[in-house]
Chains A and B, each alone.
Chain A
């Protein structure tokens, strides 16, 4: 046992990395590991991942194209909407103008009618006033003649009706 230990200690002295007796073992298992990894990667993993990546980039570009298309359609729809809005605005202005013009015409007609009525009434009233004024002057002359006749009678004299009338008329002119 002791001699074995001494032998082992001589063989294993120094770095384990430089123990050439383990090299065949390490190289054998390393080559197996590398071949397995290579086969796993090149046969299964890498084609699968590259397929997934290609599919994803295809999906993304499709989606981007669809988004672009939708954006275009949204822009078109917006333009149509804007146009409809502008048309409606113009139409509403037109209708408002029309209504205003019609209302103005009605108003003008009513005003003219009213003015006419007022003028007619005014003329009537003026005629009435003139008539009343004329009749008043006449009545004053009659009253004056009656008063003058009564005064003459009251003074105890009598006078000719014609003379009184002439005198009153003469006085009223004065």
Chain B
């Protein structure tokens, strides 16, 4: 990541009287600062940690873009094609390849790719039907969209040098709050005011019901937060840990251990990528079930 142009400019500053203070401030900071800090670390002969650099959103083209990562990142407009755009587009491409190109033969005896697509279809279809019942199958395409998108985004994020779109709270919050608002509006549209029975435990003793209602209400509004932070947190943590171990590989003594650890954590992350997509999808189904059958 550390490049010469950035390093030289920062060195020009650092070589002033307050150079030591500057480099101390710069540790753990952003791109240009990391280049600076990395340089300082190299001078000290130590290790270079910047595990969060992989999550920086950059434009695809121009200075500070993904091909010139050493330059400062320019301001990003809503329409700028960024690495987010690139990896989202690849996820879309994977979905198209698996489900459209893979099944183009419409074969009764399926090809390998087609049978994988059918497997995903059957798995998600069964999940929606088991959790929400037959009425939930109307919303199966939405759940399928979320599931395959998160699954492919997670797995694409595991490719070395890639960008994990689902590690960003902006992405997962859109997904999580989208489910939250969708399910809440659907609940009121389908059930009217009786959707509020979801919070009123008719089995509980009467004096406990208001208290339970308050707790249920709070937990209901925490759902989208936990739903989105769970996904982003899992992916971010896994990738950051791998990057930290990768930094340790720079030390000859611990590098074999570091490589083994990266391998192990990578295996774990492959599991996490699948499991988190599954968890997101099945929680969506559970919330959808509340909207379809609000009475406990």
**A residues at B contact (CB < 8 Å):** 1-2, 4-6, 8-9, 11-13, 15-19, 21-34, 36-38, 40-42, 44-46, 48-53, 55-56, 59
Contacts and interface: CB of A to CB of B under 8 A. Distances in A.
B267 interface: no
B13 A2 contact: yes
Given A2-B13, A9-B36, A46-B99, 7 more contacts: A26-B165, A27-B170, A30-B88, A31-B174, A41-B99, A41-B148, A52-B103
A41 B145 contact: yes
A153 B52 CA distance: 177
Contacts, number: 168
Contact of A41 (B9, B10, B118, B141): B141
A17 B236 contact: yes
A2 B142 contact: no
Contacts of A21: 75-76
A51 B108 CA distance: 10
Nearest to A4: B72
Contacts of A55: 108
8 contacts: A5-B33, A8-B33, A30-B88, A31-B174, A37-B148, A38-B142, A40-B92, A49-B103
Residue from A9, A31, A40, A48 whose CB has the most chain B CB atoms within 10 Å = A9
Interface in B55-93: 55-57, 72-73, 75-80, 82, 84-85, 88-89, 91-92
A52 B145 contact: no
B92 A17 contact: no
Contacts of A42: 141, 145
B30 A8 contact: yes
Contacts of B148: 37, 41
Interface in B39-56: 52-53, 55-56
Contact of A26 (B56, B84, B144): B84
Given A5-B9, A23-B170, A46-B141, A28 B92 contact: no
A54 B31 CA distance: 54
B227 interface: no
B2 interface: no
A11 B30 contact: yes
B145 A34 contact: yes
Contacts of A30: 84, 88, 165, 170-171, 174-175
B95 interface: yes
A25 B117 contact: no
Contact of A19 (B57, B84, B140): B57
A22 B103 contact: no
A76 B110 CA distance: 36
A118 to B, nearest CB: 88
B106 interface: yes
Interface in B13-38: 13, 26, 28-33, 36
